[in-house]
């Protein structure tokens, strides 16, 4: 219990990361495999889909993000946007892409009509748990990560580049690498306003 609590406490957002990893690519995949196998999902739907991008594939993702943003961000502002992506995300060792399979979600909606409107929400919950589990385990392994959401503007390009099923909905991107700096300070709101107990 102490180790789990410490791992949760230590999980932070790292924007300053390098293109190194203290563990092997196989060990990174083992972390992802473990989460996909054991993290719960509504109705045991197992709707989470995860893609691991390493090496040139990782760099390609962030070039896609920049190419898309260049068309949307005013020219005067783009250098700052590009510097942020290059310095905080593309500089890393790899990126984890989190998807939710809409075939599974829609199948549950059809099978359990009374809960139909809830399944897309529960699908998001499933993805969030996978994100948290993988993020925490990556950090325990000596890696720093952050969670990004350039979807839906990059969805089409990502699906085309890696031949992703159009039924896989992109939820988040998690660039990671060896920490090259400390995370920012974190403030906590008082627990009294956030937790209630009745007994």
pLDDT at 2: 82
pLDDT at 82: 97
pLDDT at 144: 98
Successive 10-residue mean pLDDT values, the chain, 199 residues: 91 97 98 98 97 98 98 95 96 98 98 97 98 98 98 98 98 98 92 97
Q: What phi-psi label fits residue 138: left (phi over 0), alpha (psi between -120 and 50 degrees) or beta?
A: alpha
Nearest partner of 179 among 52, 93, 97, judged by Cα: 93
Beta-sheet pairing, 48-54 with 17-18: unpaired
pLDDT at 143: 98
Q: What is the DSSP letter of 184?
A: P
Decide if 131 contacts 39 (C-beta within 8 A). no
pLDDT at 178: 98
pLDDT digits (tens, 9 = 90+) for 29-85: 999 999 999 999 999 999 999 999 999 999 999 999 999 999 999 999 999 999 999
Instruction: Give dist(CA 54, CA 8) in Å, integer.
Output: 25
3 state DSSP class of 58 = helix
Q: Domains of the chain: which residue ranges?
A: 23-182
pLDDT at 37: 98
3 state DSSP class of 12 = coil
Decide if 174 contacts 96 (C-beta within 8 A). yes
pLDDT at 174: 98
Superfamily of domain 23-182: NADH Oxidase (3.40.109.10)
């Amino acid at each position: 219990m102490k180790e789990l609590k410490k791992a949760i406490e230590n999980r932070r957002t790292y924007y300053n990361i390098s293109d190194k990893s203290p563990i092997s690519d196989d060990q990174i995949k083992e972390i992802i495999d473990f989460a996909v196998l054991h993290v719960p999902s509504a109705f045991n739907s197992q709707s989470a889909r995860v893609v691991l991008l390493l090496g040139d594939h990782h760099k390609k993702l962030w070039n896609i993000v920049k190419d898309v943003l260049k068309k949307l961000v005013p020219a005067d502002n783009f250098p700052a946007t590009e510097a942020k992506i290059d310095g905080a995300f593309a500089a890393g060792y790899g990126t984890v892409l989190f998807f939710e399979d809409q075939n599974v979600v829609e199948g549950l909606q059809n099978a359990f009509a009374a809960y139909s409107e809830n399944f897309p929400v529960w699908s998001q919950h499933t993805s969030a748990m996978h994100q948290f589990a993988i993020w925490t385990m990556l950090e325990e392994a000596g890696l720093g990560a952050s969670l990004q959401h350039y979807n839906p503007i990059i969805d089409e390009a990502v699906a085309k580049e890696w031949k992703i099923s159009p039924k896989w909905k992109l939820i988040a991107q998690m660039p990671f690498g060896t920490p090259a700096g400390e995370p920012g300070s974190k403030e906590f709101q008082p627990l009294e306003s956030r937790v209630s107990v009745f007994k």
